[in-house]
Amino acid sequence: MTEIESLRPIAAVLISVVGTLAILAAHRRPNFREAVTLVVSVGKFGIVASMIPGVLAGDVYVWSLGSFVADIPFALRVDSLGLLFAMLASLLWIITSLYSIGYMRGLDEHGQTRYFASFAMSLSAAIGIAFSPNLIVLYVFYEVLTVATYPLVAHDETAESRAAGRKYLAYTFGGGVAVLAGSVFVYWLTGTVTFSSGGIAELAASDPAFARAAFALLAAGFGVKAGLMPLHSWLPDAMVAPTPVSGLLHAVAVVKSGVFGISRVVLDVYGPETVAELGVGLPLAAVATVTLLAASVIALRKDHLKRRLAYSTVSQLSYIVLGLSILSPEAITGGLLHIPAHAFMKLTLFFCAGIIHVETHTDYISEMAGIGKRMPVTMAAFAVASAGMAGIPLIAGFVSKFYILVGTVSTGDYVFAVALLVSGVLNIAYFWPVVYQAFFQSSEAHDAKPLVENPLGGATRSNSPRSDGGRPIDDEEDTEAPATDDEDDIAVEDAEADAGEDPELDPEDLGRPDFSGQATERDYSDPAPLVDGEYAVDRNPSDAMIDEEPDTTEDGETSHTERDDPVDVDRGDDTHADHDHHGGPPAGGWDRRGWLGQESTWFMLGPILVAMTGSVALGLVPHAAVFLRLIDDIVSTALTLGVVF
Amino acid sequence: MTDVVLPLLIAVPILAAVAPLLLSLRTSETGWYVAAVATAVEAGLAAVVLSAVYDGARLVHAVGGYPAPYGIELVGDGLSAPVVALIAVVSVGVVAFAYTGGPRRNSFYSAFLLLVGGLMGVSVTGDLFNMFVFLEITGLATYALVAADRSDRSAVAALKYLILGTMGASFFIIGVGYAFISTGTLNMVDLSSRLAGQYTARPVLASFAFIVVGLGLKAALFPLHTWQPDAYTYASDTVTTFISALVSTVAAYAIARVILTVFTVAFFEAAPLARWAVLTFATVSILAGGLLAVVQSEVKRMFAYSSVSQFGLVIAAFALATPDSVLGGVVHLVGHGLMKGGLFAAAAILAATHGARTVDDYARLGYRSPVVAGVVAVLGLALVGIPPSIGFLGKYYIAVGAVRAGAWPVALVVFLSTLLTLAYVARLLERLYFASPDAAPAPSLDAALADGGETEGESGADAAAPASSNAGDTRTVRSVSVGMIAVVGLAAVAVVALGFVSPGFETLLEPFLGGVFP
């Protein structure tokens, strides 16, 4: 293993800094500006990819500027783990740039120069994180990443996005401070912060209490960006950002840098053996498992598609952390493989959400029934990617999940295996309805979504009609129900309440079926008698949904504006409040578009298909797609001492 | 021979201070040229000192040829050289800034040059009483400069500063007196050897307490800081730029000199209460300054309270008295001077261009003055401690020092200070770039409200404040030129570039630290 002194690492970092300056200078010429982004992203990927053969052969590329602070050098070092992350980020930046062009121009967004410039700077920081040889350089680029991504989060310049930006800064800088504190601890305990495969030797010999404290600080600090609960809360709020930002940064670059930090800490600062000795792997795995499951459950209730994807991201990132903290070779392999696997799949999903927003201004799943007609290619890609999320074979998510499962079972930690399997089921539970209703239902007739629509803890009374037909005047409590019902989108009315309002109504007039088997006077060739101008059966709609009109409720428009009542339809932060509510199918349902790209521009469809293909490729031939080879390399160097635990 | 530079550093500006007054018998507005020449010479002299100390020399000069300990000694070592360099660089910068922006009255430049001389004197003197003399010169010149724009608010602020500052200087001299009666000498090095046996004696402890409290008042540590927000806010913008960067800096340097050279680390070991007392006040200052800064709406006042917080950090570093923390303290001292001076200068430009004085006024200025707002962003983030910048460097060393010394509360507060600083810096940055468009003030300024009232009577007086939405705001600089923007831009570049120069700082301070920590 030779160290090759090269300018390529710093070139890979600086090329997009130069790009940022060029983009800022080109603010009056949008086409030139976009060309700069594309050229720089291709160039960055080229530089990173050129280092693959060398790293696979066992060499390491280094570049150093000299001492930065104390005796810690400001340097860059390209090893397999760094190359894994760098390749992922730079490759996906190319397709995200194309997508961004389509997205920003499609929405005629403001501040595009600032957007593209910040994006380029963020990628520079991400590559810097990937190539950091020690904790301090990692911290430097970690903070630069936060600063560079903040303008992207607050891009919309609305009150909501400013609030999201503030929360983002508070969380990520807090995480940064924890990382710095942890690094200072490590420096104090061992005199060095350099990553060494197998861990820093002196750390194993130092005071366990302080070593554990340092691990906790580092894990918490990186865990903020990695979306470990309860530090994840910034991620769903950051979904106010434009979708390419949510996709590349908050599914690929920023969150993966947090996970990358954790992997560096586990593999190269402490080393698997020390982590096992200190006993800090199990708490980390526990936190990851809780996050896995809790985030999946929360995702079930989200109507806003991007927020659902955000919670899915939180959940999937914990697969990676779980794999890393189990410490067996297969688990680590699986965890690291999930980095690119999840990236491709989640990017596909986010891009689909974005293209739907651009083309139809629809953000809410409850309005997306039948959208497969309008956007077939998109929803097909969505289906493929979500299958991968759930761990269906042939797509990337299966390979990584399988490795992690094998790893958990081989170390005897069955509880984690069970958690992973349950999470797979939950993934299906929150992705399948989206896909199913897109293709197999229509905007006029689609299923209700009780998980999304009903309040936490259940409704005070059932939606479905009572099996005995109900009685005209019922308990007092039912008369309260209509008040709360009115705020539901679904015009559900209580049979008893309405009957209660009309005491003159004789249930006999409703034409109740006669189960006595005796003859009937009723001639069923006649239409049923009308009660209050409508058929009895229509007074209690259940599965067969009538076209949801936002204005059917008493509140009219207010049902889509300020929703202060979280009790009933708990959209929580999913309010329509700040968006011009013009989403949803047009009158008459979705138009039909063909399968040859008539639904949108190829600027956006192309990247979606590329990302989807990438996830399939990773699922079919993970070794040929370089990633798994890099990971095998990482794991074998990190675990030269064999299986731990 | 190079030690001749040391008395020249003090003499040149003091002598030059007379020139504008003499010249004003014939001309007006020539003071600037005298100041420009004097500060350029100072910069050259400072460069000589810096390079000599960097090469490992310790410059010593006996004033008038009288040998120490009877005579006054001037010393240039690893602790004073960076401060001397800072004073020189900031003086040049402010003079360049004042060409278009600042007052052009001759009397202003006399006071300015006196101040530079006083600051240099505090930085290079090796005699405790001599330090008092220069502290007083510094103080008097500063009181005059704060009141220079002749408004009533600045007069009151200057009076407040005068009263409190004189109290501080009086405490300092009482402390020096106690040290003198305990040892019979005033020379710093001599004092340190004579104090050696009697660290726990009452007069010695009292001496330390009085000196530190007196200097702490000058450095504006909480709760002795109350003069600072008013003085910084109501002084004219050019003056604030200068004094924020240097005056408290030099007082903090004096504290470092007293702790490390006069009383030495052994004193802290013999009397740990002294260290913990200073650490406690410094730590509280970090938190209090930060919290007070967050709630401010006026930008200059916010930066003033920020200084209270940052100096808490510096004094805590010196009170910890370990090699890492002292290095961090010096780095942060220099860095803060550049950052705070740059921030006030940028605020001055924004106030002159847009009439923006409060955080609300800064709405969307990021797009109307992109370069200056960019400078505010870079300097603000450096103040928070985002790498790579000199702010990060200082904080890192201080944090390492605190952790190594086992001072966990201090370490915790140092880390939290990042978040506290972020609170007010992020507020400003969000306002600059992401405020909603309807919050931004209209670009047209009420040009008619240029006030002539308060500055009448002086021929060629600094012209009334330019179009400013604050009628009667005499603090605003006269006008804004490209040169002024270039000066603040250079400050931002320097702050980031110095973030990579830690080996330089280490080399510079190595002999000094080796002497202090055997």
pTM of the model: 0.84
Residue of A nearest to B503 (CA): A67
**The pLDDT of residue B104:** 85
Measured in angstroms, the CA of B48 and the nearest CA of chain A are apart by: 25
Peptide bond into B103 cis (omega under 30): no
The number of residues in chain A equals 645
Per CB-CB distance under 8 Å, the chain A contacts of B406 are none
B381 shares contact with chain A (CB less than 8 Å): yes
Which of A70, A139, A154 shows the shortest C-beta gap to B434? A154
d(Cα A174, Cα A511) in Å, to the nearest integer?
67
**The pLDDT of residue B461:** 34
pLDDT per residue over B443-468, tens digit each? 544 333 333 323 333 333 333 333 44
Supply the ipTM of this predicted assembly.
0.87
B415 shares contact with chain A (CB less than 8 Å): yes
- Of chain A, the percentage scoring pLDDT greater than 90 comes to 48
Asked if the Cβ–Cβ distance from A159 to B436 is below 8 Å, we say: yes
CB B455 within 8 A of CB B150: yes
- Which amino acid, A486? D
For residues B343-359, average pLDDT: 93
**The pLDDT of residue A504:** 62
B388 shares contact with chain A (CB less than 8 Å): yes
> Which residues, including other chains, have CB under 8 Å from residue B469's CB and lie 6 or more apart?
B355, B361, B441, B445, B446, B449
**The pLDDT of residue A21:** 93
For residues B51-65, average pLDDT: 91
**The pLDDT of residue A520:** 53
Measured in angstroms, the CA of B393 and the nearest CA of chain A are apart by: 7
d(Cα A56, Cα A58) in Å, to the nearest integer?
5
Per CB-CB distance under 8 Å, the chain A contacts of B411 are 181, 184
> Which residues, including other chains, have CB under 8 Å from residue B425's CB and lie 6 or more apart?
B380, B381, B383, B384
Residue A504 per-residue DSSP state: T
Nearest of B68, B67, B72, B74 to residue B2 by alpha carbon? B74
pLDDT per residue over B231-280, tens digit each? 999 999 999 999 999 999 999 999 999 999 999 999 999 999 999 999 99
**The pLDDT of residue B460:** 34
**The pLDDT of residue A510:** 66
B436 shares contact with chain A (CB less than 8 Å): yes
Helix (H) or strand (E) holding A377: helix A376-390
Per CB-CB distance under 8 Å, the chain B contacts of A151 are 433-434
Cα angle for residues A487, A489, A495 (degrees, 5° grid) = 75
d(Cα A72, Cα A82) in Å, to the nearest integer?
19
Q: For residue A168, what are its two tokens?
A: 């983002």
Cα angle for residues B132, B134, B139 (degrees, 5° grid) = 95
Measured in angstroms, the CA of A154 and the nearest CA of chain B are apart by: 7
Residue of B nearest to A150 (CA): B430
Distances in Å between the alpha carbon of B6 and those of A161, B47, B81, B83?
56, 12, 10, 13
- What HEC string does B13-39 produce? HHHHHHHHHHHCCCCCCCHHHHHHHHH
CB A467 within 8 A of CB A447: no
Q: Which stretches of chain A drop beneath a pLDDT of 70?
A: 458-459, 461-463, 469-523, 531, 539-581, 639-645
Cα angle for residues B415, B416, B417 (degrees, 5° grid) = 90
Which of B388, B400, B436 shows the shortest C-beta gap to A187? B400
Note which residues in 485-504 of chain B have CB less than 8 A from chain A.
500, 502-503
- What HEC string does B284-295 produce? HHHHHHHHHHHC
**The pLDDT of residue B471:** 57
CB A126 within 8 A of CB A45: no
**The pLDDT of residue A624:** 77
The 10 Å Cβ neighbour count of residue A260 is: 30
Residue of B nearest to A189 (CA): B404
**The pLDDT of residue A522:** 62
**The pLDDT of residue A518:** 57
CB A432 within 8 A of CB A386: yes
Rounded to the nearest 10 degrees, how much is the dihedral formed by the CA atoms of A261, A264, A265, A266? 120
- Which amino acid, B400? V
B367 shares contact with chain A (CB less than 8 Å): no
Per CB-CB distance under 8 Å, the chain B contacts of A181 are 399, 411, 415
Residue of A nearest to B378 (CA): A147
**Choosing among A17, A20, A67, A69, which should be mutated to test the B contact, i.e. which has the most B CBs within 10 A?**
A69
Terminal CA-CA length for chain A: 28
Per CB-CB distance under 8 Å, the chain B contacts of A140 are 387-388, 392
pLDDT per residue over B395-406, tens digit each? 999 999 999 998
- Of chain B, the percentage scoring pLDDT greater than 70 comes to 93
Asked if the Cβ–Cβ distance from A157 to B502 is below 8 Å, we say: no
CB A263 within 8 A of CB A284: no
**The pLDDT of residue A497:** 46
- Number of A:B CB contacts under 8 A? 81
**The pLDDT of residue B453:** 28
Asked if the Cβ–Cβ distance from A143 to B418 is below 8 Å, we say: no
DSSP-derived 3-state class of residue A73: strand
| Residue whose entry in the numeric block shows the structure tokens 């807090």 | A174
Rounded to the nearest 10 degrees, how much is the dihedral formed by the CA atoms of A242, A244, A245, A251? 130
Measured in angstroms, the CA of B425 and the nearest CA of chain A are apart by: 11
Interface of A with B (CB under 8 A): 65-70, 74, 136, 139-140, 143-144, 147, 151, 154, 157-159, 161-162, 165-166, 169-170, 173-174, 176-177, 180-181, 184-185, 187-188
**Choosing among B332, B424, B496, B502, which should be mutated to test the A contact, i.e. which has the most A CBs within 10 A?**
B502
DSSP-derived 3-state class of residue A592: coil
Rounded to the nearest 10 degrees, how much is the dihedral formed by the CA atoms of A390, A392, A393, A398? 10
DSSP-derived 3-state class of residue A628: helix
pLDDT per residue over A531-587, tens digit each? 677 777 776 666 555 554 444 444 433 334 333 333 334 444 444 444 455 777 887
**The pLDDT of residue B67:** 86
Q: For residue A25, what are its two tokens?
A: 């200078």
Average pLDDT score over chain B: 89
Asked if the Cβ–Cβ distance from B502 to A144 is below 8 Å, we say: no
**The pLDDT of residue A527:** 72
> Which residues, including other chains, have CB under 8 Å from residue A412's CB and lie 6 or more apart?
none
- Which amino acid, B28? S
Query: Given a cut of 70, is residue B437 above it in pLDDT?
Result: yes
Which of B396, B434, B503 shows the shortest C-beta gap to A67? B503
Measured in angstroms, the CA of A382 and the nearest CA of chain B are apart by: 33
For residues B374-383, average pLDDT: 95
pLDDT per residue over A616-640, tens digit each? 988 888 877 788 888 888 887 776 6
Rg (CA), chain A: 27
For residues B402-425, average pLDDT: 92
d(Cα B161, Cα B142) in Å, to the nearest integer?
9
Measured in angstroms, the CA of A295 and the nearest CA of chain B are apart by: 28
pLDDT per residue over B288-313, tens digit each? 999 999 999 999 999 999 999 999 99
d(Cα A630, Cα A614) in Å, to the nearest integer?
17
d(Cα A350, Cα A352) in Å, to the nearest integer?
5
Band (pLDDT 50/70/90 cuts) for residue B384 is very high
CB A312 within 8 A of CB A427: yes
B406 shares contact with chain A (CB less than 8 Å): no
B508 shares contact with chain A (CB less than 8 Å): no
